[in-house]
């Protein structure tokens, strides 16, 4: 009896599944036709406005049908991305974007083949990590501290970080670099088909991680003309039922912008109002030349504050960072860490522990001085830029042309800088210059830039 019932229901579900597939194919055929029309009209395949309308309509329908919203959005995400693929077929593929890391790999290859390179493409300080860090590394080996640790980090390191931040140990996770903190937050909290909002120009990691999990990065663009200030009403207008997170980064990479407490407070309010996670990448917090305001200060329970030992203590190649969030969020991030890496190397954790007692203020003053030096040189060259009030970068506007050809010529001449377009689609008119190197190297690099721009 029940068995017959089960068989009949299964029969029905098969029929409905076939109907669904048929309808979806019909949708793809229509998408293809739309693609052809767009191609004739010579307009872009992507249309954010139309997509937003479709998304809102589907969410409304899902609510009426009593369908799980996340589920509806995941489905829609797949349908939309497949439509885009179908529409883009036959069109000339756009070249994959080069990021600062791509240029770094190229520069390294050139170096390996014997070329001398000035590296102003990565935020890689030349000043050394503290002596105590090296001692801790050696001591860790001598005392056999090179075993698996707790996934979220050694208790003593989590305790030490928690104490400095004024939070509990269960609100801290130690990660292999600030990047993995971003990765585990996005992968642990955002599902396929959902959305995050990034403020561009931005370090590409937020977008990359979102796309990696099958989520969408919706972009709030800021402009040189408005001094890279985010428009908060525009930010709020990007929120839809599928939005899960806002990712911010101040002091900003690549622009060096910082924001005041009032603006930050308004962003926290928007996140709170729409129940969104707020990922605040504060790896340059020590490099704020005015007063720094952390998202931590707002006590918002859905915030995730990412920090790193890389920039403050010149420990980029140690690959260690951390995040502070509610115990519940930390648990979700820890799960991702368990799947990907088990734990951070124990000797590295001991090295980071030592760094925590060090005073990095001399590093900060040095970078500030170098940034001033770069700015004065760029001024002399007549390049325009917003004066950085934090981080370690200047993001000048090119006087003409696109970033990539210029970046490529510079590579040939022995200078690596980052293309502006690596930080967002609308920024090929900019380049990012890192000011972590000694003044003579900076001067040499800027001399190359100047001569290439003059010759072009």
Please report how close the Cβ of residue 341 comes to a copy of itself at its closest, in angstroms. 5
Tell me the window of 201-209, 291-299, 393-401, 407-415 that interacts with a copy of itself (CB under 8 A). 201-209
Separation between Cα atoms, residue 409 and residue 155, nearest integer Å: 49
The terminus-to-terminus CA distance of the chain in angstroms comes to: 83
**Is there binding between residue 37 and a copy of itself (CB under 8 A)?**
yes
The single residue among 179, 244, 311, 377 that binds a copy of itself, judged by CB under 8 A, is 179
Question: Which token pair is 10?
Answer: 């299964």
The phi-psi region of residue 107 (left if phi > 0; otherwise alpha if psi is between -120 and 50; otherwise beta) is: alpha
The single residue among 90, 166, 290, 317 that binds a copy of itself, judged by CB under 8 A, is 317
Determine phi and psi for 370, rounding to 5 degrees: -65, -40
**Is there binding between residue 138 and a copy of itself (CB under 8 A)?**
yes
**Is there binding between residue 160 and a copy of itself (CB under 8 A)?**
no
At 221, which helix (H) or strand (E)? strand 216-221
**Is there binding between residue 147 and a copy of itself (CB under 8 A)?**
yes
**Is there binding between residue 268 and a copy of itself (CB under 8 A)?**
no
Please report how close the Cβ of residue 398 comes to a copy of itself at its closest, in angstroms. 26
Our CB check for a copy of itself shows the closer of 354 and 406 to be 354
**Is there binding between residue 187 and a copy of itself (CB under 8 A)?**
yes
Separation between Cα atoms, residue 153 and residue 157, nearest integer Å: 7
**Is there binding between residue 148 and a copy of itself (CB under 8 A)?**
yes
Q: In what order do the strands lie in the sheet with 393-394?
A: 118-120, 415-419, 431-434, 393-394
The single residue among 108, 163, 273, 365 that binds a copy of itself, judged by CB under 8 A, is 108
Structural contact between residues 250 and 292, judged by C-beta atoms closer than 8 angstroms: no
* SS3 category, 321: strand
Tell me the window of 204-212, 247-255, 296-304, 392-400 that interacts with a copy of itself (CB under 8 A). 204-212
Structural contact between residues 254 and 356, judged by C-beta atoms closer than 8 angstroms: no
Q: Smallest Cα–Cα separation from 310: which of 283, 347, 344?
A: 283
**Is there binding between residue 223 and a copy of itself (CB under 8 A)?**
no
For 80-140, give the DSSP string: HHHHHHHHHTTSPPPPPPPPHHHHHHHHHHHHHTT---EEESS---SSPPPHHHHHHHHHH
Separation between Cα atoms, residue 283 and residue 298, nearest integer Å: 18
**Is there binding between residue 137 and a copy of itself (CB under 8 A)?**
yes
**Is there binding between residue 122 and a copy of itself (CB under 8 A)?**
yes
Separation between Cα atoms, residue 448 and residue 407, nearest integer Å: 11
Sequence length of the chain is 456
What track of x and - describes contact with a copy of itself for positions 378 through 397 (by CB under 8 A)? --------------------
Count other C-beta atoms under 10 Å from residue 387's C-beta: 13
Structural contact between residues 309 and 321, judged by C-beta atoms closer than 8 angstroms: yes
Please report how close the Cβ of residue 186 comes to a copy of itself at its closest, in angstroms. 10
Our CB check for a copy of itself shows the closer of 61 and 361 to be 61
**Is there binding between residue 128 and a copy of itself (CB under 8 A)?**
yes
Report the Cα 304 to chain-centroid distance in Å. Answer: 13
Please report how close the Cβ of residue 189 comes to a copy of itself at its closest, in angstroms. 14
Tell me the window of 31-39, 388-396, 405-413, 442-450 that interacts with a copy of itself (CB under 8 A). 31-39
Please report how close the Cβ of residue 232 comes to a copy of itself at its closest, in angstroms. 29
Our CB check for a copy of itself shows the closer of 89 and 164 to be 89
Structural contact between residues 368 and 216, judged by C-beta atoms closer than 8 angstroms: no
Please report how close the Cβ of residue 349 comes to a copy of itself at its closest, in angstroms. 9
Determine phi and psi for 374, rounding to 5 degrees: -60, -45
Please report how close the Cβ of residue 19 comes to a copy of itself at its closest, in angstroms. 5
Site residues for a copy of itself, 319-378, by CB under 8 A, read: 319-320, 336, 338-348
Our CB check for a copy of itself shows the closer of 124 and 447 to be 124
Our CB check for a copy of itself shows the closer of 18 and 164 to be 18
**Is there binding between residue 192 and a copy of itself (CB under 8 A)?**
yes
For residue 251, whether the previous peptide bond is cis, meaning omega lies within 30 degrees of 0, is: yes
**Is there binding between residue 280 and a copy of itself (CB under 8 A)?**
no
Please report how close the Cβ of residue 118 comes to a copy of itself at its closest, in angstroms. 15
Site residues for a copy of itself, 72-91, by CB under 8 A, read: 72, 74-76, 78-79, 82
């Amino acid at each position: 009896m029940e068995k017959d019932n089960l068989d009949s229901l299964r029969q029905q579900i098969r029929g409905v599944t076939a109907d669904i597939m048929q309808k979806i194919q019909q949708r793809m055929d229509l998408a293809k036709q739309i693609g052809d029309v767009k191609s004739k009209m010579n307009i872009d395949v992507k249309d954010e406005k139309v997509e937003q309308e479709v998304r809102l309509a589907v969410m409304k329908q899902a609510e009426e049908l009593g369908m799980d919203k996340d589920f509806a959005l995941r489905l829609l995400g797949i349908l939309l991305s497949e439509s885009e693929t179908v529409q883009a077929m036959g069109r000339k593929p756009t070249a994959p974007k080069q990021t600062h890391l791509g240029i770094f790999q190229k520069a390294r290859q050139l170096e390996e083949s014997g070329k001398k390179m000035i590296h102003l493409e990565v935020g890689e300080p030349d000043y050394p990590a503290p002596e105590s860090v090296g001692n801790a590394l050696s001591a860790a080996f001598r005392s056999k501290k090179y075993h698996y640790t707790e996934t979220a980090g050694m208790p003593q390191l989590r305790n030490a970080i928690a104490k400095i931040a004024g939070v509990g140990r269960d609100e801290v996770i130690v990660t292999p670099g600030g990047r993995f903190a971003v990765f585990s937050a996005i992968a642990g909290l955002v599902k396929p088909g959902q959305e995050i909002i990034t403020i561009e120009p931005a370090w590409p990691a937020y977008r990359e991680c979102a796309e990696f999990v099958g989520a969408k990065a919706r972009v709030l663009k800021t402009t040189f003309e408005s001094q890279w200030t985010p428009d908060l009403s525009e930010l709020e207008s990007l929120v839809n039922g599928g939005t899960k997170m806002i990712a911010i980064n101040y002091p900003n990479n690549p622009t060096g912008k910082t924001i005041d407490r009032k603006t930050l407070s308004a962003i926290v309010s928007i996140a709170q109002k729409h129940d969104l996670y707020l990922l605040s990448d504060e790896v340059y917090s020590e490099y704020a030349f005015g007063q720094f305001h952390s998202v931590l200060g707002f006590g918002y329970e859905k915030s995730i504050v990412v920090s790193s030992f890389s920039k403050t203590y010149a420990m980029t190649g140690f690959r260690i960072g951390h995040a502070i969030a509610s115990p519940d969020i930390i648990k979700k991030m820890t799960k991702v860490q368990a799947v990907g890496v088990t734990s951070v190397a124990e000797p590295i954790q001991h090295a980071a522990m030592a760094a925590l007692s060090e005073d990095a203020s001399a590093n900060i003053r040095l970078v500030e001085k170098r940034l001033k030096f770069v700015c004065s040189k760029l001024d002399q060259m007549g390049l325009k830029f917003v004066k950085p009030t934090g981080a370690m970068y200047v993001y000048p506007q090119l006087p003409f042309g696109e970033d990539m050809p210029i970046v490529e010529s510079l590579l040939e001449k022995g200078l690596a800088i980052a293309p502006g377009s690596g930080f967002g689609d609308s920024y090929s008119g900019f380049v990012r210059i890192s000011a972590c190197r000694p003044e003579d190297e900076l001067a040499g690099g800027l001399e190359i830039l100047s001569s290439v721009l003059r010759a072009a």
